Every structure is written in structure tokens, then in C-alpha cells.
Structure 1
Amino acid sequence: MIKQLLLASFGLALSMNTLAEIESKNTRFGTFEIKENPDTGAETAYFNKKMINPLIEGNNSLSLVGKYQIGGSDILLVQDNGGTGCPAELYFINISQTKVPVVSPRFGSCSDLIDVVANKDKIIVKMPVFLGIPEDPAMVKKLANKKVTYEYDGKVLKENGKLFKRSE
């Protein structure tokens, strides 16, 4: 009985340790990980075992949407999964030979329905305008097919063709 209890405890501890490291992706310059921040308990982005600065922490969780290449850089698209008010926001992380990740401003329409197209020069993210909890049926109909387009070339982020400026 004690042996079974010890084995069960060991199995639980092992599974908890496995859950702590959620996602890992190799780049040409090192390893990107999403794992629990020991100080806050939030899922956090790491590169080569160091927290990325500026800090990228998930509201509810983080997920890696994709890895792309633009020139000599590996570009990661990371989604911050939120709640009902804003289900998702995104970040681009540019990793190059300097091995110092460069983080784009947080962006997105709050929709978690995204379409990504990448080529050798830029990454395009299209997403619907997020309506939240619709109260006005006329507004829902008006905005139903409206999309927001973000373009990232490894340096500059644009929203609908204009330089992106984060509004808080």
C-alpha cells in the first residue's frame, strides 16, 4: 500500500513537472519556450531559458501560433489567450543572430479567429473585428464581415496599411 502511494505521488509530481513546460520550439538561434513563471504562476515566454524582455505573460495562457523566416530572422507569432472580454491578442517576436528577442507591440482585434499568410518579406495576419457580446443587431450586421489586417516585416508593424500605434 505504501509502495503504491509512493508511486502515485511520484507519478503526480512527474506529471506536474511535465505540465510546467507547456510548449517548446527550436529556432536557428536557440530555443523558445512557454512555461510557468515561478514568481507569478502565469504562462510566460522564454528564449534560451531567460524570460523575454519586455515580459510576455498570458492572461489565461499563451500559445505559439507559428514560426516564420524573414531574411536572417526567425519570427514567432505568439497568442495571449484572454477571457470573454478579449479572447486573444498577439505578439511578434523577432529572433536573429544577436540572440536578443525583439518584441512587437501587443496587437489584435481581440478575436481569436486569425488567418496568417507569410512570405519571404512579411507576415500578414487577418482577423475579424471583435464584437464582444453584441447588444445592437444592426451593429453586428454592419461589422460581421469587417476584417483588420496587420503586416509585419520583421521591424515595422502596420494595421490596415498604417503604422501601428497601440491604444490603451
Structure 2
Amino acid sequence: MRHLGHTLRLSRIFWGPFATLALVAGISTMAQAQQTQAQQTRFGPVAISKDRITWRGHAVHPVLTGNSGLMLSPSIAMGDSDIVVVQSIGGSLCPATFAVLQVSRKKEQHTNFFGTCSDIVHTKVVGNTLQLRMPSMHTNGVQRTYTYHDGLVSKEGVLLNSPCTKGICENYFGDE
């Protein structure tokens, strides 16, 4: 996993002659790895605990919960806060969607999941804005640009209105 102008490829589905066996074994291994996955920020650890995101040992609210699982990018410094990109691991129809978790000395805030369903995302910090670029899953050769600023996500300049409902931010099938 890389950040700051690099590519994050947090998951990839394997399909081969032993796909079922590999998938079952992979889920077991992935679940075990996720139980201990954590990223240190300047303001305390962000971790995955029981398929939920925690900061400083407490579940974030609204709750961020993944589809098949969750993965965390390394933290990215952005001004006086740190950003962790959270990936909800999907299936073959929608391999991944993303949420942005921002932590500072006193608070955390995060978005609901968004994205094109691609599990490849290029990130770049510009001032106090995080840019995320990912390929369209429906139009070959087209890149979509998302921006995160002050707790809000826009897709190519249009504010996304995807609030979490009933206190839970869940994975969904992309916004394309």
C-alpha cells in the first residue's frame, strides 16, 4: 500500500483452477489479518476490530462496516489532521469502495463509502484536500476524481449526498 501521489491497491480477487479453495482459505487468512490490522496516526491508532473501525480503541460513529471485510491505508498527514483511507472489500461485481477517516487531536470524522467499485485508487494531498482518482468500472480508459475536504466528498465537482443511515455506514455498489 502506498500513498501521497501513489496507487493504493488494497485487494484483488484471485480466480483460477483452485478458486474455491483459495477463496475459502483467503477469507480465513484475511479475517485473521484484519483482526490485528492497525495504522498509527499522530493522534492515536486506527484499527479494525470485529469488522468495525476504531480510533483510540473506541468504535467510530456512525459505525463503518465493510462488505466482505475492511482494510486500512497507511495514514496520510494533511495539515493538522491525519487521513486513513478505509476500503470495504467487495466481491466480483464491486471489488471495493472507500471511505475517508480524518482524525485530529480532539475528534474524528468520516465519510460514507463511495467509489467506482475499482480497487485501485491514486491519492494526492493538495493543501487541506485529499484527491482520490480511480478508473471507471463501466467506461474503459476513464478516470473518476473524488475530492475530500472538510468532511465532504465530491465526485468531479458534484457533492455526493450519501449519508449513513441508522448510525451505520455500509458498503454499497459504487456511485457510477
TM-score, normalization by structure 1: 0.71
Is the 1:70–1:154 contact (alpha carbons within 8 Å) kept by the matching residues of 2? no
User: What is the identity percentage for the equivalent residue pairs of Structure 1 and Structure 2?
Assistant: 26
Q: Is the 8 A contact 1:69 1:120 kept in 2?
A: no
**1: CA distance, partners of 2:34 / 2:156:** 37
Match for 1:64: what amino acid? L
Shift of 1:166: 2.7
Do structure 1's residue 166 and structure 2's residue 162 form an aligned pair? yes
For residues 108-127 of structure 1, the aligned pairs below 5 Å read 108-127=115-134
- State the Cα deviation string for residues 51-70 of structure 1 (Å, max 9, x = none): 11111122111111231122
Residue 147 (structure 1) shift? 1.5
Contact persistence 1:77–1:93 (CA under 8 A): yes
Change (3 A) 1:27 1:110: same
Distance 1:30 1:115 in 2: 25
2:113 is aligned to 106
Partner of 1:45: 53
Deviation at 1:121, TM superposition (A): 2.3
- Partners of 1:94 and 1:154 within 8 A in 2: no
Bigger radius of gyration: 1
Counterpart AA for 1:87:
P
Partner of 2:29: none
- Per-residue Cα deviation, 1:4-29 (whole angstroms, up to 9, x for no partner): xxxxxxxxxxxxxx756331112121
- For 1:128, the aligned partner's letter is P
Give unmatched runs, 5+ long, in structure 1.
1-17, 38-42, 132-142
Number of matched pairs:
134
Q: Say yes or no: does 1:24 pair with 2:38.
A: yes
Q: Deviations over 1:103-156 (max 9, x none)?
A: 11211011112111223321111111113xxxxxxxxxxx20112110112432
Partner of 1:157: 153
Q: 1:93 is matched with which residue? A: 101
Structure that is richer in helix per residue? 1
- The structural deviation recorded for 1:33 is 0.6
Which residue of 1 is the match for residue 140 of structure 2? 144
SS in 2 for 1:114: strand
Q: 1:34 aligns with which of 23, 48, 66?
A: 48
The equivalent position to 1:55 in structure 2, one of 51, 63, 68, is: 63
Larger mean Cα displacement after TM superposition, 153-162 or 19-28: 19-28
Whole-Å Cα distance in 2 between the matches of residues 125 and 33 of structure 1?
22
What one-letter code is carried by the residue in structure 2 that aligns with 1:123? L
Equivalent in the alignment of 1:134: none
Alpha-carbon distance in 1 for matches of 2:83, 2:124: 13
